Amino acid sequence: MSIATGAIRGLQEVARDPGSWWRRSKGSVELWANLIVLGWALVFMLWRGGGFAITVGSVFAIWAVLAVSLNLVVGYTGLLSVGHIGFFGIGAYAMAVLTSSASYEQLRTEAIPTFGWPFFAALPISVVLAGLVALVVGVAFNRFRDDIYVLVSFGFAVIAFTTFLSWRNLTRGAFGIHQVARPAIGPLVFDGELEFLALLLVFLGLVVLISWLIVTSSFGRVLTAIREDEEAIEVFGYRTTHYKLAIWVISAMMAGLAGALLASWSTFIDPNSFVLLESVLLVSIVILGGLASIWGSLLGALAFVMLEEGMRFVPFLPSEFIGQIRQMILGILLVLLMLFRPQGLVGRFKL
Amino acid sequence: MGFSFIKRLVAFSLLAVLVVVAAGCGEEEKGPFRIGVMESVTGAGETYGTVAVQAKQLAVDEINAAGGINGRMLELVVEDSKCNAQDAITAYNKLTDVDEVKIILGTSCSGAMLGAAPLAEKEGVVMFSGLATNPDIAEAGDYIFRTSLSDATVGVDTGNVLWADGIRNLATINESTDYAEGVRRTTTAQFEKLGGQIVAAESYPSDTTDYRTQLTKILNATPDALHIAAQAEASGGTIIKQVRELGYDGPIYADVVPIGTTALEIAGEAATGVKAITPDLDPANAKAQEVLAAFREEYDYVTLPWFLGSAYDNVYIAAECLKKTGDDQDADGFRDCLYDITWSGTIGVDYSFDEKGEVVGLSNAVLEVLPVAERTEENGGYRVLGAAPSN
């Protein structure tokens, strides 16, 4: 209600004095960040239209689900976790193992059992499995705080990666899993890239909605209070460990969902997609977009994907160094952003 | 000086760019042949990807300097697949949607290859790799080819070499990684198929530094020979050193890792006479020496010579097929051309592709480590005994 009233008042003011909008928004980094990222995305879509834009959109949707889910833990609750990629991987591997229908017996490498389940049967399992692992891990993690929390979550990411690599009669190790199923509802198969993007956006919408309901509820306010001062909120009789565990599990389930979607999108996965570096990138997306802001995570994921894919079109690079130079530019841009905008593009809270 | 100078400089360079672009447009009525190159130039496979891109660029420059293909130039569009499946998919879509290429040379990481291969297979785009060695790629589809030898062939050839050398009782030790375990498994299978017997099999985790317990167990079984499959050079070198210290003086066979530069430094004289079975360039092949010299001339270094040669050959094979089809959008024609072609180049003579797109007619070489005094940077510390026997 208040947003609507505010918007109407703002519009009235702009109608009376058109210059006022410019004067007020000139200094607003937030507005400009929004305009630039969205504008660049729009231009990119129009410029590079068609198939590639759909691919980039799909990559964005998967990163966005991950970023929003991680923001619940890092931004709202103040637990800096770099282990999120582990839950992402668990979701992906659950989906891959359950739905893969490749005939591995033909190959001269590792054979694993194939279940050949449909996508929608495996999806809940992927989500619940990520949640269960998070529950077990979270009970232990609740004993830690701050810097130590970063370290133990780091440990979790390493353990998860090693498990994917070494549990060979389930994951085929470095050989990877082929032919992960695409979703199908009766005769409607999401085989085309555009249909899959639509499905991804539906799931992204769902995750955003759930996250929004959480952070605007009284539950969400307790989380924010834990971030600000855990002892203080404990004094009021809140069992903070329960709250922390709950949001940790919810967030992990969303990451598991993202992983399941990724496995189905790419139809092939191997442990290289779940290395620690990806986790660090994810944390930087969340910080880049803005902590404790769902919109910030969406914007951060968009900015990151656009930056990375946009780099493919930087002209005049010698072909041998194209990849390395792109990575360097990306790194420099991230450092500059953190230097001049440590709260992220649209965030309100600094680590 | 100051700002106006910079402005003028910017204006001038923009103008120069425009002139170059305009000249480029007007010059040819028929544009160049455009093919995609997808390599992992960042990430885990960085060394392999970079060498591959450089070797391919070298080949393209040579072809263009010699007048191109039927008078048309050859142009590479390079993309980075970052050694992982998801980035390979975005790189693939960029190449096929934005650059509209139908023929992609690459990629160097098996995971990246397997990520993009289902799409290429579905959309009828040829993917042709010179470096990916994962055995699964054989089953990836009709449009997927490679000149690199599957890891499985290393094991098969090792088994043959062992048997041909008169080994009947073999002991094995391997690092617990996929590659090393795969080599051990295929070696053992081939050796046993020929009638050999495995008298001891030990394995060790990647961070081990002392192998005497496993080695003592192995020596108690009195094998004719020891086979080492390692992933890290340090472990391979240390095993060679320690097994000789324990008094073993029989033959040692290995995959390529235990005869790497670092491994040989650790093992020292103990490594002399160790045989390794791996793809390597034939020293008698004049073409191979020529390519290595040209590469050194252009980039001031040489590494991974076999993979370098393989990537280089890919471009010439592609050029030959483009000459035949005359259309870089004709992926089906290109694919049929690959099935028919017999090629002699850097990595071998008269090689071709089977119905799975796997290369046939190439074999692994048998290498023998030289005494310390004869090891140089050029020879890598070993000499090539010849091709591994097939059966």
pLDDT in tens, B314-327: 999 999 999 999 99
User: Do B159 and B141 have their domain in common?
Assistant: no
Q: Which pLDDT score, from 0 to 100, does residue A27 have?
A: 64
User: Do B231 and B169 have their domain in common?
Assistant: yes
- Which residues of chain B make contact with A323, given a CB cutoff of 8 A? 41-42, 49, 80, 82
Alpha-carbon distance A144 to nearest alpha carbon in chain B (angstroms): 29
- Residue that wins the pLDDT comparison between B35 and A18: B35
| Chain A interface, best mutation among B35, B136, B137, B174, by max A CB count within 10 A | B136
Evaluate the CA torsion angle B361, B362, B366, B370 in order and state its sign.
positive
Q: Determine whether the interchain pair B186/A108 forms a contact, defined as Cβ–Cβ distance below 8 Å.
A: yes
The residue of chain A nearest to residue B53, with distances taken between CA atoms, is A320
Taking the Cβ of residue B52 and every Cβ of chain A, the question of whether any pair is shorter than 8 Å is answered with no
- Residue that wins the pLDDT comparison between A191 and B97: B97
Q: Determine whether the interchain pair A108/B135 forms a contact, defined as Cβ–Cβ distance below 8 Å.
A: yes
State pLDDT tens for residues B104-149: 998 888 888 999 999 999 999 999 999 888 888 888 899 999 999 9
The CA distance from B275 to B164, in Å, is 13
The residue of chain B nearest to residue A324, with distances taken between CA atoms, is B42
The pairing of beta strand B33-39 with beta strand B103-105? parallel
Q: Where are the domains of chain A?
A: 29-340
The residue of chain B nearest to residue A270, with distances taken between CA atoms, is B111
What's the DSSP call for residue A260?
Answer: H
Confidence class for position A33, pLDDT limits 50, 70, 90: confident
Confidence class for position B283, pLDDT limits 50, 70, 90: confident
Helix (H) or strand (E) holding A59: helix A50-71
Q: Does residue B71 form part of some domain?
A: yes
Q: What is the mean pLDDT of residues B12-22?
A: 49
Nearest residue to B242 (alpha-carbon basis) of B265, B211, B269, B217: B211
Q: Does residue B6 form part of some domain?
A: no
State which amino acid sits at residue A269.
I
Average pLDDT score over chain A? 86
User: Do B162 and B247 have their domain in common?
Assistant: yes
Q: Determine whether the interchain pair B136/A174 forms a contact, defined as Cβ–Cβ distance below 8 Å.
A: no
Angle of CA points B46, B363, B149, to nearest 5°: 35
User: Do B269 and B164 have their domain in common?
Assistant: yes
Classify A29-340 by CATH class: mainly alpha
Nearest residue to B31 (alpha-carbon basis) of B62, B77, B79: B77
Nearest residue to A351 (alpha-carbon basis) of A73, A142, A67: A73
Q: What proportion of chain A, given as a percentage, has pLDDT over 70?
A: 88
Q: Which pLDDT score, from 0 to 100, does residue B166 have?
A: 94
User: Do B138 and B159 have their domain in common?
Assistant: no
Q: What is the mean pLDDT of residues A41-62?
A: 86
Taking the Cβ of residue A262 and every Cβ of chain B, the question of whether any pair is shorter than 8 Å is answered with yes
Q: What is the mean pLDDT of residues A324-339?
A: 79
Q: Which pLDDT score, from 0 to 100, does residue B73 have?
A: 94
State pLDDT tens for residues A113-160: 888 899 999 999 999 999 999 999 999 998 888 889 999 999 999 999
3-state secondary structure of B260: coil
Cα→Cα distances A81→A40, A151, A208, Å? 30, 8, 20
- Structural domains counted in chain B: 2
Q: Which pLDDT score, from 0 to 100, does residue A319 have?
A: 63
Confidence class for position A25, pLDDT limits 50, 70, 90: low
User: Do B112 and B236 have their domain in common?
Assistant: no
CA dihedral A130, A136, A137, A143 (to 10 degrees): 150
Token pair belonging to B134? 């994962």
Q: Determine whether the interchain pair A323/B42 forms a contact, defined as Cβ–Cβ distance below 8 Å.
A: yes
Average pLDDT score over chain B? 88
Please report the ipTM that was assigned to this predicted complex. Answer: 0.83
User: Do B233 and B165 have their domain in common?
Assistant: yes
- Report whether pLDDT(B30) > 90: no
- Which residues of chain B make contact with A272, given a CB cutoff of 8 A? 43-44, 83-85, 109, 111
Q: Which pLDDT score, from 0 to 100, does residue A351 have?
A: 62
Least confident piece of the model among B187-191, B229-233, B250-254, B347-351: B229-233
Alpha-carbon distance A41 to nearest alpha carbon in chain B (angstroms): 16
Q: Which pLDDT score, from 0 to 100, does residue B26 have?
A: 43
Highest mean pLDDT among A187-191, B29-33, B38-42, B244-248: B244-248
User: Do B379 and B256 have their domain in common?
Assistant: yes
The CA distance from A261 to A270, in Å, is 15
Q: Does residue B239 form part of some domain?
A: yes
What's the DSSP call for residue A318?
Answer: -
Q: Determine whether the interchain pair A175/B179 forms a contact, defined as Cβ–Cβ distance below 8 Å.
A: no
User: Do B125 and B253 have their domain in common?
Assistant: no
Provide the domain limits for residue B347. 33-149+284-360
User: Do B187 and B225 have their domain in common?
Assistant: yes
3-state secondary structure of B386: strand
- Whether the Cβ atoms of residue A168 and residue B178 lie closer than 8 Å to each other: yes
Q: Which pLDDT score, from 0 to 100, does residue B11 have?
A: 55
**What CATH number did the domain enclosing B113 receive?**
3.40.50.2300
User: Do B196 and B91 have their domain in common?
Assistant: no
Least confident piece of the model among A100-114, A229-243, A253-267, B362-376: A100-114
Q: What is the mean pLDDT of residues A317-330?
A: 71
User: Do B306 and B370 have their domain in common?
Assistant: no
